[in-house]
Amino acid sequence: MKKTKIKIEISLNDEEIKLFKSELDEIKQIIEKLKSNDEFDENRKSVLWDIIIEISKKIDDDENNIKDTK
């Protein structure tokens, strides 16, 4: 299967990062709740879920890198 790379770059200030992380956490909680209620099909590939996880990791990595340089 051919994969398509999608690259985006956004710049957010500290306040926007906090809000964005909060929103990502809300989405994760909703999906986890659906999973716990058996309303989420584990067999279905969730592209959005994968994207959310990757974005969350990237934000955490970037924040850790910034802390390490201080």
What 3-state class would DSSP assign to 42? coil
Give the whole-angstrom CA distance, residue 7 versus residue 1: 19
What is residue 37's DSSP assignment? T
Residue spans of the domains in the chain: they are 15-42
pLDDT at 19 (0 to 100) = 92
Give the whole-angstrom CA distance, residue 40 versus residue 4: 26
Chain segment 40-70, per-residue pLDDT in tens: 776 666 777 788 888 888 888 877 776 666 5
pLDDT at 26 (0 to 100) = 92
Chain segment 1-32, per-residue pLDDT in tens: 788 888 888 888 889 988 998 998 898 898 88
